[in-house]
Amino acid sequence: MYEIFVKTHFSSAHYLRDYPGKCEFLHGHNWEVEAGVRVEKLDSLGMGIDFRDLKSAVAVIMKELDHRNLNEHPAFQDVNPSSEHIAAYVYRRLGEELKDFSGVSPAFVTVYETPGSGVRYFGE
């Protein structure tokens, strides 16, 4: 079993509805994201998935989140765009983007809100 991951980032704003503090106000972050997949077998080149393919899949998702108010994104209409919900969203979307890659499934998504604070989501 292998976990293959890429690291990327996006910049966006958000606010946390009903939060009892400063985060209830619109503010921004430069979010760091690690997205990992799990593979059991390697191909004839010795790879589980080409990094290029994984980076492309993750880039599609980052483009959806980059430079916007996350509270206006359809995925966050009914839930706060917290680090936890962002990580779960990226994880689900990663599964959708990789559906044509046999034997490749999301393993985890880590979202860093700040350099020292983050969330890792492993799925349900």
Q: What is the pLDDT of residues 64-89, one digit of tens each?
A: 999 999 999 999 999 999 999 999 99
Residues pairing with 3 in the sheet: 38
Confidence class for position 23, pLDDT limits 50, 70, 90 = very high
Catalytic pick among 27, 67, 72, 96: 67
Distance between CA atoms of 50 and 108, rounded to whole angstroms? 17
Judge contact between 76 and 85, C-beta under 8 A.
yes
- Alpha carbon 100 to its chain centroid, in Å, reads 19
Residue ranges making up the domain that contains 30? 2-121
Active site residue 113: yes
User: Tokens standing for 45?
Assistant: 């080149």
Active site residue 85: no
Q: How many helices (H) and strands (E) does the chain have?
A: 2, 4
Active site residue 32: no
| Total count of domains within the chain | 1
pLDDT of 124 higher than 90: no
Model-level pTM? 0.96
Provide, rounded to the nearest whole percent, the portion of the chain with pLDDT above 70.
100
Catalytic pick among 23, 32, 73, 84: 23
CATH number of the domain enclosing 48? 3.30.479.10
pLDDT of 40 higher than 90: yes
User: Tokens standing for 75?
Assistant: 């995925």
